[in-house]
Structure 1
Amino acid sequence: MVFNEVEINNFRGIKHLLLPDLRQINLLVGKNNCGKSTVLDAIFLLSGFSNPVLNMRINQFRDYSSFTEEDIALNFYKMQTSNHIYIRGNINGKTIRELKISPVVSQSKIVLSKDDISGVALSNKETNIGSGLTMNFSYISSNGDKLDDSATITLRTSKRGKNEVEIKLPKEYEETLSTAYISSKYAFNIAVEQLTRIIEEKQDKVIVEILQHIEPRIKSITVLKSQINVDIGLDRLIPINMLGDGIRKLLAIVTALYACKDGAVFIDEIDNGLHFSSLSSLWKAIIKTAELLNVQVFATTHNIESLQSLNNVLFEDEYADSQNDIMCYSLRHMPTDELNAYKYPYEKFQYVINQEIEIR
């Protein structure tokens, strides 16, 4: 397990949130727009706290690729860059990982206006010289190891008048934590790359066994010409795309888990594209694979059937030992504009289901 506690401050709509007692598998539930996906994004940023590019990538998960001066404020609470973002994580009770995000302060230059001094928009200052984000990251371990460094992403205007993004990475730090993010509109080409490595390591039989829970006809899986193909007993291999979104979603999740051994995987809308009859197979695959590879999972849903399926799976004798490895958090906005996380371990799942607590 990676994180056993996470604190988020001034990130998008979250003024403050504390997620305590994190487990190997953590399910975030709540009403639409309560902040579930934002929590995933924040922890993902913390997992790659030395990589400033993630500030753009997390917005791309929402099909928003713009990164201009006007977009700098998007991830700050109330879109005020004076509300500096602060995200902290406790790793296995041994290491504190911190990320502070603040705006790059531009130094404006005073110049004289030469053209049309009678113009209405006359100004004696040169503006928009450059702005961006600074990521100050640090950690301190129980054995005394320390790190304090920074990275920046800066917007500048080239001599030709084009907007450019300048990235400054830390010189010494190299991230060792492996994580992956599967958005509700996941990029399937990532699964292709990961599956290729799995096949090279001769682990494809394990993947096939997991996929057979949803599609029993699958006998083998391979990658040909950057396309995933499966053998379902016909005269030729067929593209896995022909088997529907559910099987592709499961493949994307499982391959991500395999690629992030001893790391973490973030899954937004985990049940998206899956029929309710396939949810138990999904949870069984996640529980077994996460345990086998020591991967921590963070997932969101507003589908009560997901929690019902997880509850039923954990009731089975084969998965009973995993009951203490799973936690459900119900996220609720408070009048103070803080976001509270109410913990529900397995023994309270049925109560949450019966009451439909802040899920739909």
Structure 2
Amino acid sequence: MLQSLIVKNYRNLSKLTIPRLGRVNLITGKNNSGKSSLLDAISIYACEGNISWLIQLLDDRKEFISNVRPPFDEGAFEKAVSCLFTNRALKEPIIIGEMESDLFSTESPSQYRVEIKPVKIIDEEVRRTSETNKEIIFSKQRRVLEENDIEYSSLINARLGFEIYSNSQTTIFETRDILRNTRFRDFPSNLQYVHTQNIDRETNSSLWDKVALSYKESLIIDALKIIEPNIERIAFVSTNESVSRLVRTPMVKLKGDDVIYPLKSMGDGINRILTIVLSLVNCENGYLLIDEVENGLHYSVQRLLWKVIFDVADKLEVQVFATTHSNDCIRAFGETVLDSHDYNYYSSFKTGQLLRLQQGPHNVEVIEYTSETLFSAIKFNIETR
């Protein structure tokens, strides 16, 4: 679990430092303040800088065409991936990780970090002598250009690549490697990312299969009872959505009723809760990221949902990062933090942390709300968005 965070050179987060994080973290701020970028950065850290995940993040924002095949425009590819870097400049590396514990270097990333460095790569001809017949053999070898290789930088065969450091290992990727891996593989099983409008029935059915018949079923049903208290059971049933498409739809049984009902008939709110809680119970000992958590939810149910999130996250050792624009959502979150523990005794790392991003003179800055300041903000209706 991340106890602190530093992000450098990722999109509009040229240098963001968060000295303290909680079990559940709610992120606020104006449009374009970097909330979604912060979620993306945490996902990159959790995925250890996987190059295919980077391409998927670009694809999600329509900044990269995933079905590109050689031959292709190297310049267009470079323009697309430059969207990940501050000011679209492919010069300095992206760095995401925890901050050094040394009090004298609080703005430095620790060794537990992901570093994505743009590099130029060339193929060099290598000459060697065969050990068997002593013949001269020529072969090509890939090499990363160093800063002092100025004479090579303009060579026609110099290609864009990335040097990715993670988990004390460094891997080199170039264009053709990336094109072979445009679909993300090896997705960490304990990372879930719920997007703004995400009520994905196909993804949900897969997540349900992983927890069916386990104690986690009851956690999901308890969450759905926030909106419909009479729900007793849930199952995903195959239905014909169209002539050529078979999908699995969430169906629920209500107390005292033998008829089963499609969950989608009960509104977007309960389906949003299903997506969030299914994701939560599927990332034990990992990370849950939720963009605009309040979407589709009436203010009256948000405090109950936060209680579920806090309780399950604590039980399953999940660290949650969510964004919001809603003052009602912030109030519900704050009241849950204050109700969860004696806020004068427990640290926010064990409960929740409200973080507001705002544009400073040079960088995006973060304002932390401790339990005490959050209590004051709620009591006196101080603007926290």
Give yes or no for the alignment of 1:344 onto 2:366.
no
Classify 1:106/1:267 alpha carbon distance in 2 versus 1 (closer, same or farther; 3 Å).
same
Q: Structure 1 residues 305, 274: CA separation in 2 closer, same or farther (over 3 Å shift)?
A: same
Aligned pair partner of 1:191 in 204, 222, 230: 204
CA distance in 1, matches of 2:62, 2:192: 18
Pick the aligned partner of 2:263 from 210, 216, 240.
Answer: 240
Q: Partner amino acid for 2:372?
A: E
Counterpart in 2 of 1:11?
Answer: 10
Partner of 1:134: 163
Task: Give TM-score scaled by structure 1 length.
Answer: 0.79
CA shift for structure 1 position 78? 0.1
Please name the residue that 1:166 is paired with. 180
Matches within 5 A, 1:38-49: 38-49=37-48
Write out per-residue CA displacement over residues 230-281 of structure 1, whole angstroms, 9 at most, x where no aligned residue.
1135543222222222111111111111111111111111111111111011
Q: Give the CA deviation at 1:55.
A: 0.4
How far is 1:22 from its partner?
0.8
Structure 2 CA distance for aligned equivalents of residues 200 and 130 of structure 1 = 51
Aligned to 1:98, the other structure's residue is in SS state: strand
Within a 5 Å distance, the mapping from 1:127-276 to structure 2 comes to: 130-138=159-167, 147-150=168-171, 152=173, 154-155=175-176, 165-167=179-181, 178-186=190-198, 188=200, 189-225=202-238, 226-232=248-254, 234-276=257-299
Q: Distance in 1 between matches of 2:304 and 2:250?
A: 21
- Quote the Cα distance in structure 2 between the aligned partners of 1:200 and 1:286: 21
Q: What is the distance in 2 between the residues matched to 1:76 and 1:293?
A: 34
| Identical-pair percentage | 24
TM-score normalised over the length of structure 2: 0.75
What is the alpha-carbon distance in structure 1 between the residues aligned to residue 287 and residue 318 of structure 2? 5
Note if contact 1:213-1:281 (Cα within 8 Å) is conserved in structure 2: yes
Supply the AA of the counterpart residue of 1:99. Answer: V
Give 2:331's match in structure 1, choosing from 283, 301, 308: 308
Alignment check: 8 A CA contact 1:72 1:133 kept: no
Which residue of 327, 342, 354 maps to 1:328?
354
1:175–1:69 Cα change, 3 Å: closer
1:212/1:63 Cα in 2 relative to 1: closer, same or farther (>3 Å)?
Answer: farther
Matched position secondary structure for 1:107:
strand
1:190–1:90 CA distance, 2 compared to 1 (3 A): farther
Q: Measured at CA, do residues 64 and 293 of structure 1 come closer, stay the same or move farther in structure 2, by a change above 3 Å?
A: same
**Separation (CA, whole Å) in 2 of partners of 1:80 and 1:292:** 43
Does the CA contact (< 8 Å) of 2:96 and 2:113 recur in 1?
yes
Instruction: Identify which of 117, 123, 140 aligns with 1:102.
Output: 117
User: What is the aligned partner in structure 2 of residue 117 from structure 1?
Assistant: none
- Secondary structure of the 2:9 match is strand
In the aligned structure 1, how far is the partner of 2:214 from the partner of 2:374?
38
Deviations 1:139-182 (A, max 9, x none): xxxxxxxx2232536248xxxxxxx81349xxxxx997821111
**Partners of 1:221 and 1:229 within 8 A in 2:** yes
Matched, 1:52 2:51: yes
Aligned-partner Cα distance in 2 for 1:216–1:30: 34
Deviation at 1:46, TM superposition (A): 0.7
Give the Cα separation in 2 of the matches to 1:345 and 1:99. Answer: 28
- Aligned-partner residue type, residue 165 of structure 1: L
Give the whole-Å Cα distance in 1 for the aligned partners of 2:332 and 2:338.
10
Amino acid at match of 1:186: N
CA distance in 2 between counterparts of 1:232 and 1:91 reads 52
SS across alignment from 2:331 = helix
> Which amino acid in structure 1 is aligned with residue 82 of structure 2?
A
Shift of 1:51: 1.8
Provide the rounded CA distance (Å) in 1 between the counterparts of 2:172 and 2:192. 21
Q: Which amino acid aligns with 1:228?
A: P
Residue 201 of structure 1: SS of its match in structure 2?
A: coil
Q: Which of the two has higher C-alpha Rg?
A: 2
Show structure 1 runs of 5+ residues with no match.
110-124, 139-146, 157-163, 169-173
Is contact 1:3–1:90 with CA below 8 Å preserved after alignment?
no
Alpha-carbon separation, structure 1, partners of 2:290 and 2:4: 18
CA–CA separation in structure 2 for the residues paired with 1:92 and 1:206 = 36
**How many residues are paired up?**
321
Per-residue CA deviations over 1:20-42 (Å, capped at 9, x if unaligned) read 11110111111111001111111
Q: Deviations over 1:39-97 (max 9, x none)?
A: 1111110111152111022234435552633201010010001132111225999x842
